[in-house]
């Protein structure tokens, strides 16, 4: 797709139902993110998620996806990356694993016969870059070098968080593998990834702010649940099966 100039569509989901929906919608990559701990289970941070918990989410998503590539995050607290990768692929059914690690660590996973989606980070929230400074040139050069090292180590994809248009475009041009991103990314990348609960407003935060989303499922659900409660309290027959 990168060679042909086609943008890659990535999504993050955590459950069987949404997995079926995004697969039917025709996305290219379905990522089971360790953000499941915060967004679905109410944990305080992604660092609280374990490999066993990721396996539960990965298996659910795998059951719902028949055509897209399924990737599963290796939790940041993991010490034995190869063992975790083997479990997520062998037990969880993932096609590849996603991890933020050194080129050497990526190579050990690839040498174990497992495809890796490597991750790098730009300069900060929103990927904003100051233009013209020596520091920015140095930062871009370092990110390009990191991306090349990961590609040389055998990574199949790179997730570039907070890329910004300068470093993002430079990294895309420097490596032959696709570079996609979510936070702080943009059209300068080979594709984008977005957490579907945030994109469609399936979070309680969508009830309290007016951020630009593709839908507001939380508002629809709040109204629907209220209508159900009204029917029960009024002694009316409830709708649906």
Q: Is the pLDDT of residue 9 over 90?
A: yes
What is the three-class DSSP state of 3? coil
Q: Is the pLDDT of residue 129 over 80?
A: no
What residue segments make up the domains of the chain, in order of their start?
8-199
Average pLDDT of span 56-61: 97
Given a contact cutoff of 8 angstroms between Cβ atoms, the answer to whether 102 and 108 are in contact is no
Average pLDDT of span 14-24: 97
pLDDT at position 134 is 44
Q: Is the pLDDT of residue 116 over 80?
A: yes
Q: Is the pLDDT of residue 127 over 90?
A: no
Chain centre distance of CA 21: 16
Q: Is the pLDDT of residue 136 over 70?
A: no
Q: Which residues share a beta bridge with 8?
A: 191
Q: Is the pLDDT of residue 140 over 50?
A: yes
Average pLDDT of span 197-209: 92
Q: Is the pLDDT of residue 128 over 60?
A: no
Q: What angle do the packed helices 51-64 and 16-25 form, to 10 degrees?
A: 50
Nearest-angstrom CA–CA distance, 168 and 4: 19
Q: Mean pLDDT for the chain?
A: 92
14-44 burial, b for 16+ CB within 10 Å, e for fewer?
bbbebbbbbbeeebbbbbbbbbbbbbeeebe
Q: Output the six-digit token pair for 12.
A: 């993050």
Given a contact cutoff of 8 angstroms between Cβ atoms, the answer to whether 203 and 214 are in contact is no
Homologous superfamily of 8-199: Phosphoenolpyruvate-binding domains (3.20.20.60)
pLDDT at position 135 is 42
CB atoms within 10 A of CB 235: 6
Closest CA to 84 of 118, 109, 107, 101: 109
pTM exceeding 0.85: yes
Dump pLDDT digits (tens) for 150-199: 999 999 999 999 998 999 999 999 999 999 998 788 999 999 999 999 99
The percent of residues above 70 in pLDDT, for the chain, comes to: 94
């Amino acid at each position: 797709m990168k060679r042909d100039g086609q943008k890659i569509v990535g999504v993050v989901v955590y459950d069987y139902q949404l997995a079926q929906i995004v697969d039917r919608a025709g996305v290219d990559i379905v990522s089971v993110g360790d953000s499941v701990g915060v967004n679905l289970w109410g944990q305080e941070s992604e660092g609280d998620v374990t490999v066993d918990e990721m396996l539960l989410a990965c298996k659910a998503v795998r059951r719902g996806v028949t055509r897209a590539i399924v990737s599963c995050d290796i939790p940041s607290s993991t010490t034995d990356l190869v063992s975790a990768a083997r479990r997520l692929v062998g037990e969880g059914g993932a096609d590849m694993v996603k991890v933020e690690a050194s080129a050497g660590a990526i190579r050990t996973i690839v040498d174990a016969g497992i495809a890796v989606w490597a991750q790098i980070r730009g300069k900060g929230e929103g990927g904003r870059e100051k233009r013209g400074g020596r520091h920015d040139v140095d930062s871009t050069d370092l990110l390009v070098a990191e991306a090349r090292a990961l590609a040389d180590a055998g990574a199949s994809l790179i997730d570039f968080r907070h890329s910004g248009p300068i470093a993002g475009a430079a990294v895309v041009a420097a490596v032959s593998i696709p570079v996609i991103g979510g936070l702080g990314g943009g059209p300068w990348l080979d594709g984008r990834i977005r957490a579907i609960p945030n994109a469609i407003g399936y979070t309680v935060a969508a009830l309290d702010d007016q951020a630009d989303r593709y839908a507001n499922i939380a508002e629809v659900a709040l109204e629907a649940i209220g209508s159900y409660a009204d029917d029960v309290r009024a002694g009316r027959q409830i709708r649906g099966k």
